[in-house]
Amino acid sequence: MVGMSGKRGNGEGSIYPYKNGYAAYVWVTKPDGKRARKYAYGKTREEVHEKWLNLHAEAKKGPVATRHRTVAAFLTYWLDSVVKPNLAPLTYVSYEGCVRLYIAPHLGPKRLDRLTVRDVREWLTKLATVCQCCAQGKDAKRAPARRKCCAIGECCEAYPSRRVIQAARDALRAALTHAVTEEEISKNVASLVKVPKPRRRRIKPWSVAEASQFLTDAAARDDHLVAAWVLVLCLGLRRGEVLGLTWKSVDFERGELYVDHQIQRAGREILHRETKTEDSDDFLPLPALCLKALRMRRAQQMGDRKAAGELWQGSHDLIFTTKYGTPIEPGNMTRMFALRARRAGLRVIPLRNTRHTCSSLLVALKVHPKVAQRILRHSQIAMTMEVYAEASEEEVRAAIGQLSDAMGSTG
């Protein structure tokens, strides 16, 4: 270090007075292979010497970035070069929305390497109090005559929910994980910030009687989606999986259904793509009721095709289509489900909650436990037998009798 004489200590050759303190530089190799000086600054010689030693150690390990990107610049690179080519389209849509609406407006101008845990915590605290109608100009985008809140000075206080705040934090955490991998930063500050978990509402699933009432009503009205509702309720299929089924997926001879595709809306396009994981792909045995419903659906679709004539656009060979052969919007299916539940005089439950009714329905349909085990994807037959033991016989028999009559009358 510097002695009383003011001379530089050994190895401090490049430390010099600068503005109100000191500065130093080290020659480094940049990621593009070129040589450049990388500077360190500080109030005291000791502070700069410490940083100078760290820089030397960093330079020995490999390439060093001399210019640090802003958070916004890194997020743009991450979305375009990492997320879009390598992850599912829906993941890109979700991350891109979080970046554009919640992260970039607050943290975008900060330097990536200087982002702290405190910055992230303060951002999340502030985000919870920012009206998104004001921030995104939602009311301002309406025609002047239709403006009703923020644009006319009456803030509607549309604050982000816990789920939105968690999604925004998760998107930033995923981006910073990549920045750590690429050695742009040394630690992921977003993963060190806790956010309150969203509360999940517990919804009581439909009983067998309610599910049967729903299907009976749909069959009696010759509903175009009756086979979809049967598959959702009997096989526990997800919305996207049902809409992604093609006629090639059904083997009427062996009574099997192969689930390996799904329909998804990603931003402005509808995608017919593979299911999320290989474990999701499966040959499912079709109970008699499902086979009957699919045969009815085939007859319905042939009728639609004839009626549409040259307007028919079915290119995917999908089982469930609009009257002109185009894929059904996933959001529309959810809306139709709620509408038809009301029409049948039932309490409305979310479409995804129907998976819980599936096991009781299989018991009611007298599906063999071994077949039910495959449909429910239970690893042990004991789990399936527990389900079978719980179902109440009387209510079940009456409900299914009605359903069979309704399906028979429309067949």
360/391 Cα distance (integer angstroms):
6
Domain's final residue, options 158, 192, 226 = 192
381 and 246 in a single domain? The answer is yes
Total number of domains constituting the chain = 3
Residue 203 resides in a domain:
no
Helix intervals (H) in 236-273: 239-243
Q: Quick check: helix, strand or coil at residue 142?
A: coil
164/98 Cα distance (integer angstroms):
8
User: Could you report the per-residue pLDDT of 221-258, keeping only the tens digit for each?
Assistant: 888 899 999 998 888 888 888 898 889 989 999 888 88
Lowest-pLDDT range, 108-112, 185-189, 397-401? 397-401
296/291 Cα distance (integer angstroms):
9
> Quick one: which of 195, 14, 27, 241 has its CA closest to 102?
195
User: Could you report the per-residue pLDDT of 352-397, keeping only the tens digit for each?
Assistant: 888 777 777 777 777 777 777 777 777 777 777 776 665 555 556 6
77 and 181 in a single domain? The answer is yes
Strand partners, 29: 35
256 and 374 in a single domain? The answer is yes
101 and 128 in a single domain? The answer is yes
- Going by pLDDT thresholds of 50, 70 and 90, the confidence category of residue 12 is low
Buried b (16+ CB within 10 A) or exposed e, 373-383: bbbbebeeeee
Give the pLDDT score at 99: 95
Check which CATH number belongs to the domain holding 241 and give it.
1.10.443.10
Are the C-beta atoms of residues 332 and 256 closer than 8 Å to each other?
no
Are the C-beta atoms of residues 261 and 275 closer than 8 Å to each other?
yes
Check which CATH number belongs to the domain holding 137 and give it.
1.10.150.130
Domain's final residue, options 47, 67, 87 = 67
Q: Which residue, chain included where needed, has tokens 């004991």?
A: 382
Average pLDDT rounded to a whole number, residues 119-146: 91
22 and 149 in a single domain? The answer is no
> Quick one: which of 197, 149, 130 has its CA closest to 169?
197
Angle at the Cα of 384 from the Cα atoms of 379 and 386, rounded to 5 degrees = 130
Q: Quick check: helix, strand or coil at residue 369?
A: helix
Q: Return the DSSP state at 80.
A: I
Q: Quick check: helix, strand or coil at residue 101?
A: helix
62 and 78 in a single domain? The answer is no
Angle at the Cα of 283 from the Cα atoms of 301 and 248, rounded to 5 degrees = 35
Residue 240 resides in a domain:
yes
Residues above pLDDT 70, as percent of the chain: 84
388/313 Cα distance (integer angstroms):
44
Q: Over the Cα atoms of the chain, what is R_g?
A: 30
Residue 200 resides in a domain:
no
> Quick one: which of 185, 55, 174 has its CA closest to 110?
185
110 and 151 in a single domain? The answer is yes
Q: Quick check: helix, strand or coil at residue 25?
A: strand
294/242 Cα distance (integer angstroms):
12
Q: Which amino acid is at 5?
A: S
Residue 25 resides in a domain:
yes
Domain's final residue, options 67, 97, 115 = 67
User: Could you report the per-residue pLDDT of 269-309, keeping only the tens digit for each?
Assistant: 676 666 655 544 567 888 888 888 999 999 999 998 899 88
125 and 172 in a single domain? The answer is yes
Helix intervals (H) in 34-147: 45-61, 71-78, 84-86, 89-98, 104-107, 117-127, 132-135
Residue 201 resides in a domain:
no
Residue 202 resides in a domain:
no
Give the pLDDT score at 410: 45
| Segment holding 195, helix H or strand E | none
Domain that holds residue 120: 71-192
296 and 404 in a single domain? The answer is yes
224 and 347 in a single domain? The answer is yes
Residue 233 resides in a domain:
yes
User: Could you report the per-residue pLDDT of 260-271, keeping only the tens digit for each?
Assistant: 777 767 677 676
Is residue 94 scored above 70 in pLDDT? yes
Residues near 189 by beta carbon (within 8 Å), at least 6 away in sequence: 115, 116, 117, 119, 120, 176
User: Could you report the per-residue pLDDT of 315-350, keeping only the tens digit for each?
Assistant: 678 899 988 888 888 889 999 999 999 999 999 988
Is residue 203 scored above 70 in pLDDT? yes
83 and 63 in a single domain? The answer is no
Give the pLDDT score at 198: 79
- Going by pLDDT thresholds of 50, 70 and 90, the confidence category of residue 405 is low
Residue 244 resides in a domain:
yes
* Most confident listed range (3-12, 49-58, 386-395): 49-58
278 and 359 in a single domain? The answer is yes
Please tell me the pTM assigned to this model: 0.65
